[in-house]
Amino acid sequence: MATVELTKENFDEVAGADGIVLVDFWAEWCGPCRMFGPIFERASERHDDIVFGKVDTEAEQELAGAFRISSIPTLMAIRDKVVLYAQPGALPEDALEDLISQVRAVDMDEVAARAAESDTN
């Protein structure tokens, strides 16, 4: 599956869907972003059940600001509308695959239970 360009107009719709969404915050001028881009693209081709989205932080400054992106590339992993991971830095291919495995393995019922518990405290 090819990556999806995310904008402030479509971000909520795409990231708010059920399932896993990986978001790469990047910019054309960023060397590490250009190195990570092909890794992200290859992963998108291997995992057709995951949405791979890219946010151009230059074109989408408002969206990048809303997520307080201060360093790029920043990778965000969202599953069932819950942000499970958000860290700056270009991951090597094996680390990205490991992250995808970890996101798949998360017990979302447990995450929901913990969120409900923290809401009552």
Catalytic residues: 30, 33
Instruction: Write the CB contacts of 71 (distance below 8 Å, at least 6 apart in sequence).
Output: 88, 89
CA distances, 95 to each of 12, 18, 50, 72, 100 (Å): 27, 24, 17, 17, 9
Q: Give the strand order in the sheet containing 4-5.
A: 4-5, 51-56, 20-26, 74-79, 82-88
What is the token pair recorded at 32?
């590490």
What is the token pair recorded at 72?
């790029």
